Amino acid sequence: QVRLVESGGDSVQTGGSLRLSCAGSGYTASNYCMAWFRQAPGKEREGVALITRHVGPIYADSVKGRFTISQDNTKTSLYLQMNSLKTEDTAMYYCAAKFVGGNGVCTTFEFYNYWGQGTQVTVSS
């Protein structure tokens, strides 16, 4: 059973930094895509960053140049380094996974179906 547990959310001031972590278990990492999503109050959930398999990571335009997604060597831990935080980054952040098989590609934010419980990031001015 796929299990994803996020941590690292906090309250920070604009311009600050946070590092989110996601610990995954219960699956073979090589068969899954991993990504970060967020949902702000009153807004739909949006993709923030994802790990592709053959090219560099993909980021939402709103976070390019400020956020960095990475994995550990086992590929079961996912991280999101967030720098130069803005008030509009305030949201619940979720780690997500989807099964694609060993030869699958990970180039879109669609069809993720395994989710963690989320970790809250609040940025104030």
**Each residue of 8-25: pLDDT tens digit?**
999 999 999 999 999 999
**Each residue of 39-81: pLDDT tens digit?**
999 999 999 999 987 888 999 999 999 999 999 988 889 999 9
CA angle 97, 103, 105 (to 5 degrees): 55
Rounded CA-CA distance 76/74 in Å is: 5
Which neighbouring-strand residues pair with 82? 18, 67
Residue 96, pLDDT above cutoff 90: yes
Q: Which two tokens stand for residue 86?
A: 């803005």
Are residues 45 and 39 in contact, defined by beta-carbon separation less than 8 angstroms?
yes
Residue 104, pLDDT above cutoff 90: no
- What is the predicted pLDDT for the residue at 84? 98
Are residues 37 and 58 in contact, defined by beta-carbon separation less than 8 angstroms?
no
- pLDDT tier for residue 116 given thresholds of 50, 70 and 90: very high
